[in-house]
Amino acid sequence: MRFPIIAGNWKMNTTVAEAIELTGQVRKGISNGFSVEVVVCPPFISLAAVKEALKGTSIKLGAQNLYHEEKGAYTGEVSPLMIADLCEVVIVGHSERRQYFGETGEIVNRKISAALKAGLKPILCVGEQLEDNEAGQTAEVVTEQLRSSLEGISVSSDLVVAYEPIWAIGTGRAAHGKPVNETSAIIRRTLTELSNQEIAQGIRILYGGSVTAENIAEFLEQSEIDGALVGGASLKADQFISMVEQAEYIYFPNNPPTKDLIPW
Ligand code: PEP
Nearest alpha carbon, ligand 1 atom 1:
231
Q: What is the pLDDT of residues 26-61, one digit of tens each?
A: 999 997 888 999 999 999 999 999 999 999 999 999
Q: Could you tell me the residue ranges of all domains in the chain?
A: 5-251
**Nearest by Cα to 9 from 63, 77, 88:** 63
How much is the pLDDT for 255? 67
Residue 143 CA: distances (Å) to CA of 151, 159, 194: 12, 16, 11
Q: What's the CA-to-centroid distance between 171 and ligand 1, angstroms?
A: 9
Which CATH class for the 5-251 domain? alpha beta
Residues constituting the chain: 264
Q: For residue 8, what is the enclosing H or E element?
A: strand 5-9
Residues 245 and 262: beta-carbon distance below 8 Å: yes
pTM: 0.95
**77 has a pLDDT exceeding 50:** yes
Q: What is the pLDDT of residues 167-209, one digit of tens each?
A: 999 999 999 999 999 999 999 999 999 999 999 999 999 999 9
> What angle (nearest 5°) sits at the alpha carbon of residue 218, between those of residues 213 and 220?
85
The answer to whether 70 is a known catalytic residue is no
Q: What's the CA-to-centroid distance between 170 and ligand 1, angstroms?
A: 5
Nearest alpha carbon, ligand 1 atom 8:
231
Cβ neighbours of 59 (radius 10 Å):
21
